[in-house]
Structure 1
Amino acid sequence: YCCWLKMLFTLGILLLLTPFPSFQTMTNEKRYSTGSDQAKSRARDGRYTSVFTTEVITGNKCTPANLFASSILIGEVDIYPQGKEGQSVRVYCDMETDGGGWTVFQRRMSGKTDFYRTWNEYSVGFGNLSEEFWLGNKLLHNLTSTGPVSLRVDMQSGNDTAYAHYANFSIDSEERHYTLTVSGFTGTAGDSMRYHNGRPFSTHDKDPDPLGIHCARAYMGGWWYKNCYKTNLNGLYGINSNNQV
């Protein structure tokens, strides 16, 4: 059980990104066309938009204690965010990236799943765990409020990779509009998430932003917008647009 034990204290959210070269759609096999210089440049500058495929992962519940009964080390499993006495939640666990122990929270692969959703849909989650999905802001708040949680962003274009790691990451309650807290950046991909620190979550039907810019409507996604973004991972898939920053 040595491998399980080393993952026992893995706490975090992992966000895996793969840019579309020349902003072309990626195949399900994750193979790419040529011409990725523009995408790689944007990654280095720390501007991640929906031209990247994404995979958001929380690691603090995919631990040996939670997985022991299922004997599954990667794939769909049931976790118990409130302990065994609480209700189980089906998630996708990643036991390979950065030491393992991550729970996938969001994934975009082909753009076939619509991410222009309502506040309630983002709250409870939508999509298919084996394909594209958003697990839900309520659960994300739950998972990030039980202890120290980190965020990692990984990007790949062909053989080129970059990453961003945030030592501290949490999402507030629905009453506080799922406000984002993120800090402690290290990595090679750029520090774009810091721009969104302290921002409430916004959707086209509920925008707590006091500035009244309605970024969620303009860029057709749900996100922690701020006049409007440096990263927009739930926006239109494969679209590179001006961001008003």
Structure 2
Amino acid sequence: MEVLAVAVLGALVALGQGQPIDPHAAPASCPPPPPRDCQDVHARGARSDGVHLIYPAGGAAAPVPVYCDMSTEGHVWTVFQKRFNGSVSFFRGWDDYRRGFGRADGEYWLGLHTLHLLTLQARYELRVELEDFENNSAAATYGSFALAPRAVSAEEDGYSLHVQGFRDGGAGTAAGAAPVGRGRRLWGGGGACGVGAALVGRGRRLWGGGGACGAESIEPPTYGAEPTELHSYGAEPSLTGQNPHLWGRTHPCGSAPRAPPAGDALSYHHGQKFSTFDRDQDLFAQSCAALSSGAWWFRSCHLSNLNGFYLGGAHLSYGNGLNWARWKGFHYSLKRSEMKIRRL
């Protein structure tokens, strides 16, 4: 009754002020929600690559600067990791990786929690772009990417990686050396004419490579999801992938080797928690983050380490550079990496 009286009183006041009352009038329209990712930024009219503000946690939260790629493959991508010159240190602790660091107009990491919020609201595709110091490039794409999608507390879940649907995204013009690694069997490749490739290994068996020009090296066994043998550095799968590459093949004297695609160096880490040097959540007895000088979804330990040291190409140290083992092995630190997602 009181509510009705108040409504009548309000109507009388409006009439007294000469304002007509329309019972069928539509309510005032609400402003559009703030952009949650770069695709929303594009939908609002932006068309150029560059830094924009997004609101992964909603309009009430603070905006987050991010680099938007609006040109690659004819799609719009939200970039969450970008490295190209080593100007920003990526050897950081848990809090930095959870919050994010760097600048969106330079090298940066968007932040685990922001990435979790983004991938929680829709299905996203991941694209990983790589470049070496010889200006060769390669890319890998994953049809489904999310962090801790079923966790009530994403941090307690370790921002676990959920990635599926790998497909290669092309390669440059020159082949990298046959990869080598810890805790698994290795297969090698031919080097210069008449000289077999030198394979460096710790606590593991080595298979060697080609000799005379045009000869084939020994082919590895069929790739399996799990290793067939344990060694001193733990269990990791072999370096031949679902898309078999020409790892270890020699070539005629004077001709360039055939370029391998990027290969799948991330599916091995599916289901793993994120680890940093001050929060060890991997499956290995020692800290993979400390051993690999990085922060990643380490298992025992890695096939990719894109947050490792920026070592500028070939390096003698094992697996602690900006590595993507399926493409360049564990002794080559890449020039550029970029990880980006788009909503499907």
Same fold per superposition (TM over 0.5)? yes
Residue pair 2:284, 2:301 contacting (<8 A) in 1 also:
no
Q: Distance in 2 between matches of 1:88 and 1:67?
A: 16
Match of 1:233 among 292, 306, 328: 306
Residue type of the alignment partner of 2:138 = A
Larger radius of gyration: 2
**Pair 1:136 & 2:133 matched:** no
**Pair 1:183 & 2:159 matched:** no
Q: Distance in 2 between matches of 1:143 and 1:177?
A: 16
**Residue 170 of structure 1 aligns with which residue?**
146
- In the TM superposition, 1:206-217 aligns within 5 A as 206-217=279-290
**Residue 151 of structure 1 aligns with which residue?**
126
Q: Distance in 1 between matches of 2:43 and 2:144?
A: 27
Q: More strand by proportion, 1 or 2?
A: 1
**Residue 91 of structure 2 aligns with which residue?**
116
Residue pair 2:282, 2:300 contacting (<8 A) in 1 also:
no
- In the TM superposition, 1:7-86 aligns within 5 A as 61-63=37-39, 65-67=40-42, 71=46, 73-86=48-61
* Structure 2 counterpart SS, 1:199: coil
Structure 1 residues 113 and 151: alpha-carbon distance in aligned structure 2, compared to 1, 3 A threshold: same
Q: Distance in 2 between matches of 1:185 and 1:175?
A: 27
Structure 1 residues 160 and 108: alpha-carbon distance in aligned structure 2, compared to 1, 3 A threshold: closer
Q: Distance in 2 between matches of 1:178 and 1:88?
A: 21
Shift of 1:97: 1.0
**Residue 242 of structure 1 aligns with which residue?**
318
Q: Distance in 1 between matches of 2:136 and 2:282?
A: 36
Greater mean deviation of Cα atoms: 209-218 or 190-199: 209-218
Q: More helix by proportion, 1 or 2?
A: 1
The number of residue pairs the alignment matches comes to 185
TM-score, normalising length: structure 2: 0.50
> Residue by residue, what CA displacement relative to the aligned partner does 1:66-88 show, whole Å, maximum 9, x if unpaired?
34557463211111224445432
Question: Structure 2: which 5+ runs fail to align?
Answer: 1-35, 149-153, 169-260, 321-329, 331-344
* Structure 1 counterpart SS, 2:282: coil
> Residue by residue, what CA displacement relative to the aligned partner does 1:42-71 show, whole Å, maximum 9, x if unpaired?
xxxxxxxxxxxxxxxxxx8112x4345574
Residue pair 1:170, 1:181 contacting (<8 A) in 2 also:
yes
Q: Distance in 2 between matches of 1:222 and 1:108?
A: 14
Q: Distance in 1 between matches of 2:138 and 2:294?
A: 24
Higher relative contact order (CA 8 A, sep 6+): 1
Question: Structure 1: which 5+ runs fail to align?
Answer: 1-59
Shift of 1:159: 6.0
**Pair 1:161 & 2:161 matched:** no
* Structure 1 counterpart SS, 2:128: strand
Residue type of the alignment partner of 1:139 = T
> Residue by residue, what CA displacement relative to the aligned partner does 1:107-165 show, whole Å, maximum 9, x if unpaired?
11111211110100100011121111111111011111111111112234556432211
* Structure 2 counterpart SS, 1:217: helix
Greater mean deviation of Cα atoms: 206-215 or 173-182: 206-215
